[in-house]
């Protein structure tokens, strides 16, 4: 039986039903404290795209995290959760006029400019609203990962620099920076470098740190001014399967700290470690109930009440997520099956292989692990008009309902009937 924060999963499901996301807040806190211990010179900024649930975002704020946002919606949520604007940075390659205006007026610490054109546009918006903008330059480094294997990381670790990319200013174009911005409307406060996500090799992360420091020094030479901040997107990964090894955080932290020492010694330079998956992924489990068992031409299928409309990542990103029968963890598991949801499409498979006990039965609980990041908000929740799943946080033995389960009438939100019809 899976137990989260001292509470059996069956008791959680009995109160909140299925499908359901359950998050272990104690694990999130432990991850945050591990990062603070391993990277003492860095501020930890939570990448909200990993899981923008208001309660979880607020929980991280109480721990001391800053927020890395990627939309005006996430800016709204960050402010609702109590984040100081000076602890918010905004990344993303296609920010709208409204998003830029709201960010500037809100006084966030930095808008990460992804191109010279965007730098000019930020200057234009800043002039219109009469408020100077703080900007960090996002840089697409000339080189990226040297290891691009598969595993649960996917074929390219969601690589974002080191090659052609919609993200960032090409490192080779940095010389254009000299004198290319209006100093009355824009203050360049830092740089942002993010190579890739889900990296499980410490040496790759350390090499990215070296690239970042080299670029920071080069930008200072070009601008003739010291940087106020370096936003380092470490891409720290989490293992999905037993054959994958977790990062040695003590070793990684010591090496990265050493690389950044020239900047950490300064009193007026913020070092920001931006991440989401490492904090969230392993804290969450997507729970659904078995509603059908069948065999088709030698293949066993388990049909559950939750499908890819509520947890799409295994199919969309081709990422492996371990699946388990949560209420029968101690039972021998000699057979295997595929897990599919109730959707009328053959792609609705949340697990290609689950080890199942011989006595698996209707109403057993299937858990898709590593579901704390890129779960609820990444999924096509309106597909086939099923109610949306609930979200529950377990903290110090207490259950907190973070998001109520959807209702059929929620489907009518923002919709209007055809004229003349009731």
Q: What is the mean pLDDT of residues 377-404?
A: 97
Quote the mean pLDDT of the chain.
Answer: 93
Q: In this predicted model, what pLDDT tens digit does every residue of 3-17 receive, in sequence order?
A: 999 999 999 999 999
pLDDT at 231 over 70: yes
CA count, 13 A, side-chain hemisphere, 256: 29
Round to whole Å and give the CA distance between 365 and 58.
Answer: 29
- Read off the pTM: 0.95
- Going by pLDDT thresholds of 50, 70 and 90, the confidence category of residue 153 is low
Q: Which residues contact 33 (CB under 8 A, 6 or more apart)?
A: none
Q: In this predicted model, what pLDDT tens digit does every residue of 308-327 receive, in sequence order?
A: 999 999 999 888 899 999 99
Round to whole Å and give the CA distance between 422 and 418.
Answer: 8
Query: Nearest to residue 225, comparing CAs of 257, 179, 293, 194?
Result: 179
pLDDT at 230 over 50: yes
* pLDDT score of 156: 42
- Report CA Rg, the chain: 23
Domains of the chain by start residue, with CATH: 84-275 (3.20.20.10), 282-412 (2.40.37.10)
* pLDDT score of 13: 98
Q: In this predicted model, what pLDDT tens digit does every residue of 237-255 receive, in sequence order?
A: 999 878 889 999 999 999 9
């Amino acid at each position: 039986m899976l137990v989260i924060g001292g509470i059996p999963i069956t008791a959680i499901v009995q109160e909140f039903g299925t499908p359901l996301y359950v998050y272990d807040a104690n694990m999130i806190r432990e991850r945050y404290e591990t990062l603070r211990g391993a990277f003492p010179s860095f501020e930890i900024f939570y990448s909200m795209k990993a899981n923008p649930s208001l309660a979880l975002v607020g929980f991280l704020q109480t721990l001391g995290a800053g927020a890395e946002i990627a939309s005006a919606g996430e800016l709204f949520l960050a402010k609702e959760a109590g984040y100081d604007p000076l602890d918010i940075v905004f990344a993303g390659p296609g920010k709208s006029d409204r998003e830029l205006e709201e960010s500037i007026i809100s006084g966030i610490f930095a808008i990460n400019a992804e191109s010279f054109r965007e730098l000019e546009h930020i200057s234009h918006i800043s002039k219109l609203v009469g408020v100077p903008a703080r900007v960090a330059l996002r840089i697409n480094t000339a080189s990226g990962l040297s290891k691009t294997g598969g595993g649960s990381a996917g074929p390219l670790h969601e690589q974002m620099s080191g090659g052609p990319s919609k993200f960032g200013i090409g490192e080779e174009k940095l010389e254009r920076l000299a004198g290319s911005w209006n100093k009355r409307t824009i203050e360049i406060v830092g740089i942002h470098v993010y190579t890739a996500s889900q990296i499980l090799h410490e040496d790759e992360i350390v090499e990215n740190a070296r690239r970042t420091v080299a670029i920071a020094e080069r930008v200072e030479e070009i601008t003739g001014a010291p940087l106020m901040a370096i936003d380092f997107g470490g891409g720290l990964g989490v293992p999905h399967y037993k054959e994958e090894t977790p990062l040695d955080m003590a070793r990684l932290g010591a090496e990265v700290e050493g690389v950044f020492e020239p900047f950490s010694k300064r009193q007026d330079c913020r070092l920001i470690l931006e991440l989401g998956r490492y904090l969230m992924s392993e804290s969450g489990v997507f729970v659904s109930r078995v509603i059908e068992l069948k065999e088709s031409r030698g293949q066993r299928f388990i049909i559950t009440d939750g499908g890819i409309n509520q947890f799409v990542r295994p199919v969309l990103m081709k990422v492996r997520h371990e699946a388990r029968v949560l209420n029968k963890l101690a039972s021998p598991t000699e057979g295997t099956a595929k897990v599919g949801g109730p959707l009328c499409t053959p792609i609705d498979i949340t697990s290609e292989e689950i080890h199942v006990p011989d006595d698996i039965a209707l109403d057993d609980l299937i858990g898709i692990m590593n579901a704390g990041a890129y779960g609820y908000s990444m999924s096509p929740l309106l597909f086939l008009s099923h109610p949306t799943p609930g979200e529950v946080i377990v903290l110090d033995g207490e259950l907190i309902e973070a998001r109520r389960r959807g209702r059929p009438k929620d489907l009518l939100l923002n919709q209007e009937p055809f004229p003349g019809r009731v």
